[in-house]
Each structure stands twice: as C-alpha cells, then as structure tokens.
Structure 1
Amino acid sequence: MTSASDSPLVPGNGVASCGGHGTDEVLEVTQLLENHRITCCIGGASALIFYGAERVRHTWEIIVDSGQLGDAIELLKSPKYASDYLTLPAPPFQQRFSLPHTYQRFRGSSSNYDFTLVPSDHSHFSCHKSTICRSVHGLPYPKLPVLIQSFLDTNNRVALCDVVDGTNVSEDWGLQHLDLSGTNDVEWALRLNKMSTHPVPPFPTAAIKKLELWKSVVQTKIDRLGWTRPSELFTTQYRLKGSEDPWLVYSKAY
C-alpha cells in the first residue's frame, strides 16, 4: 500500500507557509526577481495589511517595474522555473482600480498560494530601491508616503481610508510627506480605462483636489469607528490606543 507521504503531490495542494499565507514562498519569488535585477514590491491588499488595515487577501500582488514586466514573466515561465510556478488564467471578474485580465497570474506547484504580476504604472508609482522598504519578514513593500501618494493620485478613497486608519497618520504628516497640490491624475485613469473590457470603467475620472481628499479622509477617522470600536479604546477602526505600528513587528501575514 502506498502511504500518503509516498503519493505524488497534486500541484498547488500543499499547505502554504506561515499558516497558509504563503509568505515564505512569495518572499522566494521576490528574491528570485531581485536576483535577476528585476525591481519589485508587494502591493494590493497585502500592502494594506502590512500597514495595519484589515483586508482579505485573495492573491499576492507583486508590483514589477513596468519596463521589466516582460522580463519577469519570461523568467518565471522559463524552463528552469516553469515547473515551480504554474501559469493561471486571468480571473473572470472585474475589480475597481484593477485590470486583472491584463495581468499574469501564477500558482506554486507544491503549495496552495498564488500571485499576480502587476505593472508599476497600474499602481501609479515608480518601483525602485528608493521607493521600497522591507517588512521584518524581508518582503519588499512600497514606502508609506509612496503608497498613500498613489491612492491620492488615483482617487482611491477606499484604500486611502484603510491605510490612514491602519497607520493613524495625522493631517500634518500628510502636509510634510505628500504632494497635495492639484488634482488626481485624470489622464492616467482615462488611459487605463481604455484597456478595460467591462462596461463600468474601473478607474474614476472625476477631478478631485488632492488636499481636500486628504483632509476629508484624515479628519474623519472617528466617524469610521462604528459601534463595535469605542473611542475610549480605539484611535481608528484598526488601531487600539497605544498599539505598535504593525509594519515594525514580525507577522506571518507579511
């Protein structure tokens, strides 16, 4: 009789590291890319989780410098690595602030995790060493001002609220670290919307003054607490009073 340990492993059916998060495996992917001089960092829901927001991660989004995206895909599909990273079809659904049908998805061949390569232009920030920091685990993430600036420039209010509430940054912090002049990048949104196959454009094209957007989000933290998070205990919907900055501590999730 063949034991379970002797049975061939079904691709992607093994339990991913770090309690199923797949953090170690994704770290290996980013290290592989970096070893081939391909700059990358973690974006999407994972970046918001890193900065303290309570988000559900359906896939790891790895932001790759747009000019190197083709090299990254070619590397992971090369004969040396194709058996480790299985190519997945694009998801059948449309998401706000995303063009999933244009992205390349992969799945680990030996454990249940997957990741998506996203061009940095679609995240509206440059992906290079000066814009990246590291989690305690070693994963690369966009620096906080870089991430928040991208949400302002793209008028992504939901993500902006999440990162503000996760980090509890102040209004003055934004005045010191962000470019709050002018409006969001409408031309960028119009250009990316042309790539969408969905009748509802994924990127908003209304011109919003960034300073007003910043103030409207950072001044309403208390309004987002809800009845389950009393202001006596919480400073924001995600932060207990006196809690450590989550991005400075070790976590299996990031």
Structure 2
Amino acid sequence: MLAPNFHVNAPVPPDPVEKAPTYSPDEVPSCGGHGTLEILEVTRYLENHGVECCVVGISALMFYGAGRARDEWELCVPNDKVNEAVSLLTADSMASRIHAIPPIPIPQPSSLSHTYHRFKGRGVHFYFLIVPAYDAHIPSGPFRIQRSLNGVPYPTLPVLMQSFLDTNDDVSLCDCIDGSNMSEEWGIQHLKLDGTNDLEWTRKMNIAAAEASRGRGWMFVHYFPTSTISRREKWESRVRNKKERLGWTTPQGLFDTRFRLKGSPDPWTQKLISS
C-alpha cells in the first residue's frame, strides 16, 4: 500500500543549474548623462571625413532654450551623404566607440525615424539617428551652422525656425519661439513669411510613410499634417500668444515665456552641458 501523500506522477526535481551570468548596465554618458561629448566626437569624425552634419530635432530645441527631454540625438546629414556617413560610422575605426542597432520598431508621430539608421555607444547609454536633410527640411550645401560653446553643430535659429514653419510643425515652432524668446520683428527680418507651408514636402513625406508601413502589420501610421497655412499668419499668432502659453508654474511676473525667466541670457550663448 502506498504511503499517504505519495504522488506517483510527482515531477522529478530538476538538477541544479548554473545561474545565468549578470551584466553591468551601460555607463552613464558624459555631461551628466546628456552624451554631449559623445555626439561631439561623432560630428567631428564625420566632418573630418568630409561629411557635413548638424544636430536637429529635440536636441536643437533644447539648444535654443526649449524645455524638452531627450532619448536620443538626431544627426542630420545631406541626403546624398547618408550612405557615406553610415559607412564611416560602421568602420572598424569606430567599432570600439559605437555600433549599429535596429531602427525604432514602431512609427513615431509625424516622423520617419523608424526608418533611419540608428547607433548606440559601446557600453554607454548613448543613442543617435542619422536623419536625411530633406526629411528635416534643412537646406544643405553647405549647412548654415551655429556651434554650441562645446562645439556641437546645430542649424542656425532662422534655418530651424523656417523648417518648423514650412513643415507646419506647430508644437516645435511654439517650443522654439518660447525657448529663444524671439520677437515678431525678428521673424520679419530673418524668415520667409510670404506664401504657405511646403505641401510638396508633406506629400512626399506621407508617401514615404505609407511605403514604410507597407506589409508591416501596423494598425495606424501618423502622417504629416496636410492642412494649408499662411506662414506669416502662423508666425504672428504664435509669437503674439507667448504669454497665453504661460502656466501657473510660470507666472508673468517672473517669466517672459514658459521657458525663459525675465532677463535671462540666450541659452545658446551659455556653455550648457546638454549641448
């Protein structure tokens, strides 16, 4: 007779196995985690090999004073230099510093970032994308550059602001206006305000977005805005409404814009660790 609590089909205890090895997390990048020195090294490497480049996207908005958080840097190169830039960045001479990784797996709103070449620092939590100049609506040949005091190249403020107008990127336009605290008169002097946004660019970008999603099984694609706007009216309304974008944490008595204290210096004239 079987003893009580004896189970004929009880599982055999597994043999002891060796514990999986543990790995140290990536190191924190330079400048308090911003990765400024890492992107500077990449830009200098490309420039020294004849590929012009400049930092765009969220990093450029931060450089001009917007309060944004950055997951990765966006490095703009001329369209006809994308393959050359990728070839240089995947060369053996850079293998100890960076390596290519898969693109972002899902589409991002009004962006083709999920189609771009993406890189990561070797053992460092530092990421960047290669963005074609056309996609960023940045004129190339040569780029008009404003360097940070650390030496990182960015588009000049007129070039960046114009790109937001021409692509009808309202969020970035407002962030750039509030970060730089530019006046209505500055826009009249430095921007092309006649006519409307660049709908031919929008059409081509939406075709590219649809093509990139073909056969991927994605439920949706965030297309670029197709509405027609007057560049002058857009500029005037967004500059004149700076005060309306202030919140309870940024009272008018202390702030000129939601990102700028009264009397504060222009951020791009300061040596900031984030740029």
Q: Give 2:175's aligned residue.
A: 162
Task: Count residues in correspondence.
Answer: 246
Cα pair distance change 1:154/1:144, threshold 3 Å: same
Q: Give 1:84's aligned residue.
A: 97
Task: Say which of 67, 79, 83 aligns to 1:70.
Answer: 83
Q: Give 2:124's aligned residue.
A: 111
Structure 1 residues without counterparts, runs of 5 or longer: 1-8
Equivalences for residues 13-28 of structure 1 within 5 A: 13-28=26-41
Using the TM superposition, give the Cα deviation of residue 127 of structure 1 relative to its aligned residue in structure 2, in angstroms: 3.4
Q: Tell me whether 1:176 sits opposite 2:189 in the alignment.
A: yes
Task: Say which of 223, 227, 230 aligns to 1:206.
Answer: 227
Task: Say which of 50, 54, 75 aligns to 2:63.
Answer: 50
* Identity rate, percent: 49
- After superposing on structure 2, the runs of 4+ consecutive aligned residues of structure 1 that deviate more than 4 Å are none
Q: Give 1:191's aligned residue.
A: 204
Question: Hey, what's the Cα distance between the residues in 1 that align with 2:268 and 2:106?
Answer: 31
Equivalences for residues 31-50 of structure 1 within 5 A: 31-50=44-63
Q: Give 2:268's aligned residue.
A: 247
Q: Tell me whether 1:144 sits opposite 2:157 in the alignment.
A: yes
Match for 1:183: what amino acid?
T
Using the TM superposition, give the Cα deviation of residue 221 of structure 1 relative to its aligned residue in structure 2, in angstroms: 0.2
Contact 1:39 1:65 in 2 (8 A): yes
Contact 1:95 1:202 in 2 (8 A): no
Q: CA RMSD in A?
A: 1.6
Contact 2:104 2:115 in 1 (8 A): no
Question: Hey, what's the Cα distance between the residues in 1 that align with 2:243 and 2:31?
Answer: 33
Contact 2:107 2:222 in 1 (8 A): no
Using the TM superposition, give the Cα deviation of residue 130 of structure 1 relative to its aligned residue in structure 2, in angstroms: 5.0
Question: Hey, what's the Cα distance between the residues in 2 that align with 1:154 and 1:54?
Answer: 21
After superposition, the C-alpha distances for 1:37-73 in whole angstroms (9 at most, x for unaligned) are 1010001100000000000101000011111111000
After superposition, the C-alpha distances for 1:210-254 in whole angstroms (9 at most, x for unaligned) are 011111100100000012111111110000000000000001100
Moved more, 196-205 or 107-116: 196-205
Structure 2 residues without counterparts, runs of 5 or longer: 1-22
SS in 2 for 1:243: coil
Q: Give 1:6's aligned residue.
A: none
Match for 2:29: what amino acid?
A
